[in-house]
């Protein structure tokens, strides 16, 4: 067999393996996602999805089910790199959703079942059978069903763009020493609009840190060791759990080292947020029952206290300099661009029939904010301008009465 014929036969071999026994074919990669060489395994999965134009049904279901369980695993047992791994998983999830076929591989029931390993105390528990409302394909995914199931499993905030989870009511902060050293921690109440800078300020006063050294102390998560940006909102990171309160540490760091750590953390956070937007956009991209999905998405976004704030969040100080300044700026441009595409898709699906005309200004604020933040980016300028023109044409009845 010549080199040319080997190359030509590879797509047929891969397709046959995916069709005949997708679970066995994917097992090598999936089993290593929680062990070693995780970045390489995610890279292989991305190449596979891009290499195969349309994934076979069984392979798509297997990937979708496993990635959902993978995110659940790291939500329930947070680790140091959990946010990075969840972001990588979301990048696979939206790609799988976009590639789905339309036929049900079982030809029967529209629901699929997945097994998720729940790990407690460092040891494997029995596998729990979860019923995921994932019908024939992405064409059958309904936001309402996903919301109900993922909320029940307490992982909706890590996957869904519209997750509206109550904030933690109290947060515990340990002083600038080891949490197990016997020092008395402090407890602070958390409101819906509480930022980490407020917690940091009160912690510095409580532990008696001299004002001249305030800029050398930062809040770090006790479990994951992730540094928190003072301008971030507590409700975006910590959610209400009965009898459980998040714990932070007040850590002394050099301002330069803290700035680099904040940049790395912002990169991971943006990656996760982009994954959520892309997943929502991939579901709306298909025309089947798109109006029902858009109406539900519109209602959910209006209930979010963080909308449109999270769509426009940008810490410009982190983008100016440092090791990852340019990369963060590019990632933020991508984040805003995907939000613009999502709003444009919603406007397109609801052409001439916007559900609640009084709310349209909030969606226009996303477009306005994207242009203000990145007015020098030609791609955003062109897409926002096109969305403005389409909206003016499709919703002229709204603008003629509401301005």
Distance (Å, whole) CA 140 – CA 399: 34
Q: List, for residues 269-281, the tens digit of each pLDDT value.
A: 999 999 999 999 9
337: in domain: yes
Domain-terminating residue out of 253, 282, 299: 253
Q: Kindly report the number of other CB atoms within 10 A of residue 98's CB atom.
A: 17
* 231 and 275 within one domain: no
* 81 and 20 within one domain: yes
Q: Does 109 have pLDDT greater than 60?
A: no
276: in domain: yes
- Higher pLDDT, residue 241 or 226: 226
When pLDDT is averaged across residues 2-27 and rounded to a whole number, the result is 78
Predicted TM-score of the model (pTM) = 0.84
What number of residues does the chain have? 403
User: What is the per-residue pLDDT for 375?
Assistant: 92
Cβ distance 111 to 131 under 8 Å? yes
156: in domain: no
Q: Does 148 have pLDDT greater than 70?
A: yes
- Cα-based torsion angle of the residue sequence 203, 206, 212, 216 in order, rounded to the nearest 10 degrees: -30
Residue 320 dihedral angles phi and psi, to the nearest 5°: -80, -40
* 267 and 341 within one domain: yes
- Higher pLDDT, residue 133 or 258: 258
* 273 and 310 within one domain: yes
**Residue 236: which CATH number?**
3.10.20.90
User: What is the per-residue pLDDT for 317?
Assistant: 92
User: What is the per-residue pLDDT for 329?
Assistant: 94
Cβ distance 234 to 167 under 8 Å? yes
- Helix (H, G, I), strand (E, B), or coil: what is residue 106? coil
When pLDDT is averaged across residues 169-175 and rounded to a whole number, the result is 92
* 317 and 247 within one domain: no
Cβ distance 216 to 177 under 8 Å? no
Q: Does 46 have pLDDT greater than 50?
A: yes
- Higher pLDDT, residue 271 or 108: 271
Q: List, for residues 309-361, the tens digit of each pLDDT value.
A: 999 999 999 998 888 999 999 999 999 999 999 999 999 888 766 656 678 88
* 298 and 225 within one domain: no
Residue 392 dihedral angles phi and psi, to the nearest 5°: -65, -35
Sign of torsion, CA 281 287 292 295?
positive
Distance (Å, whole) CA 35 – CA 29: 10
Distance (Å, whole) CA 81 – CA 203: 26
DSSP state of 322: S
Coarse DSSP helix, strand, coil percentages of the chain, rounded to the nearest 5 percent: 60, 10, 30
User: What is the per-residue pLDDT for 106?
Assistant: 40
Cβ distance 110 to 142 under 8 Å? no
Lowest average pLDDT, out of 129-133, 282-286, 376-380, goes to 129-133
Distance (Å, whole) CA 57 – CA 35: 27
Q: List, for residues 181-238, the tens digit of each pLDDT value.
A: 556 889 999 998 999 999 999 999 999 899 999 999 999 999 889 999 999 999 999 9
* 398 and 266 within one domain: yes
Tell me the pLDDT of the chain averaged across its residues. 83
When pLDDT is averaged across residues 85-113 and rounded to a whole number, the result is 64
- Higher pLDDT, residue 132 or 246: 246
Distance (Å, whole) CA 342 – CA 356: 18
Cα 166–Cα 123–Cα 240 angle in degrees, nearest 5: 5
User: What is the per-residue pLDDT for 137?
Assistant: 41
b/e burial code for range 206-236 (CB count within 10 A of at least 16 → b): bbebeeeeeeebbbbbeeeebbbbbebbbbb
User: What is the per-residue pLDDT for 108?
Assistant: 36
Cβ distance 234 to 168 under 8 Å? yes
Domain-terminating residue out of 118, 140, 162: 140
Query: How many structural domains does the chain have?
Result: 3
For the chain, the first-to-last Cα distance in angstroms comes to 70
Domain-terminating residue out of 207, 234, 253: 253
b/e burial code for range 237-261 (CB count within 10 A of at least 16 → b): bbbeeeeeebebbbbeeeeeebbbb
Name which of 319, 357, 366 is nearest 338 in CA terms. 366
- Which pairs from 65-68 meet CB under 8 Å and 24+ separation? 65/112, 65/114, 65/132, 65/134, 66/26, 66/30, 66/33, 66/114, 67/92, 67/93, 67/96, 68/93, 68/114, 68/116, 68/132, 68/159
Full residue range of the structural domain in which residue 113 is found: 3-140
* 337 and 298 within one domain: yes
Q: Does 77 have pLDDT greater than 50?
A: yes
Confidence bin at 116 (pLDDT 50/70/90): very low
């Amino acid at each position: 067999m010549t080199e040319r014929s080997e190359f030509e036969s590879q797509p047929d071999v891969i397709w046959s393996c995916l069709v005949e026994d997708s679970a066995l074919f994917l097992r090598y990669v999936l089993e290593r996602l929680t062990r070693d060489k995780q970045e390489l395994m995610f890279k292989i999965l991305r190449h596979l999805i891009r290499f195969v134009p349309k994934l076979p049904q069984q392979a798509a279901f297997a990937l979708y089910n496993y990635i959902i369980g993978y995110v659940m695993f790291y939500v329930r047992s947070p680790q140091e790199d959990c946010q990075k791994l969840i972001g990588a998983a979301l990048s696979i999830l939206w790609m799988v959703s976009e590639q789905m076929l339309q036929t049900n591989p079982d030809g029967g029931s529209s629901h699929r079942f997945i097994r998720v390993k729940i790990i407690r105390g460092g040891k494997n528990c029995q596998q729990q059978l979860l019923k995921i409302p994932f019908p024939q394909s992405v064409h059958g995914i309904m936001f309402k069903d996903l919301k109900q199931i993922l909320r029940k499993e307490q992982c909706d905030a890590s996957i869904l763009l519209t997750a509206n989870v109550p904030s933690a009511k109290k947060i515990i902060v340990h002083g600038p020493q080891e949490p197990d050293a016997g020092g008395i921690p402090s407890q602070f109440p958390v409101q819906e609009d509480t930022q980490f800078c407020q917690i940091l300020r009160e912690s510095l006063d409580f532990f008696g840190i001299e004002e001249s050294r305030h800029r050398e102390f930062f809040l770090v998560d006790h479990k994951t060791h992730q540094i928190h940006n003072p301008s971030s909102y507590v409700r975006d990171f910590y959610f209400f759990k009965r009898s459980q309160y998040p714990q932070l540490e007040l850590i002394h760091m050099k301002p330069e080292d803290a700035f680099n750590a904040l940049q790395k953390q912002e990169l991971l956070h943006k990656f996760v947020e982009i994954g959520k937007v892309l997943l929502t956009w991939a579901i709306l991209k298909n025309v089947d029952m798109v109006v029902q999905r858009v109406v539900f998405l519109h209602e959910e976004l209006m209930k979010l206290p963080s909308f449109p704030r999270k769509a426009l969040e940008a810490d410009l100080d982190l983008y100016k300099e440092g090791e990852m300044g340019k990369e963060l700026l590019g990632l933020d441009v991508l984040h805003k661009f995907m939000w613009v595409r999502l709003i444009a898709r919603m406007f397109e699906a609801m052409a001439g029939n916007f559900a609640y005309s009084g709310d349209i200004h909030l969606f226009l604020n996303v477009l306005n904010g994207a242009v203000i933040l990145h007015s020098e980016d030609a791609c955003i300028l062109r897409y926002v301008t096109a969305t403005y023109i389409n909206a003016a044409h499709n919703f002229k009845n709204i603008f003629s009465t509401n301005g």
